[in-house]
Amino acid sequence: MSERLDASALKSGALVCLVFAIPFSLGARWAADSRNDDGLAIALTLAALAGFVIGSGVGAWVQTKGLPLLHGLVTASGTYLAAQTVFIIARLVTGRDVHWFAALFNVTPALFAGLIGGVLGMVLQRRGAVPGRSSGSGPQGGS
pLDDT of residue 92: 94
8 A C-beta contact, residue 31 and residue 40 = yes
For 143, the 3-state DSSP assignment is coil
8 A C-beta contact, residue 114 and residue 56 = yes
Question: Residue range 15-42: average pLDDT?
Answer: 88
pTM of the model: 0.84
CA distance 83 to 102: 14
**35 pLDDT higher than 60:** yes
Residues 79-109 pLDDT 10s: 999 999 998 999 899 998 888 888 888 899 9
Sign of CA dihedral 39, 42, 45, 47: negative
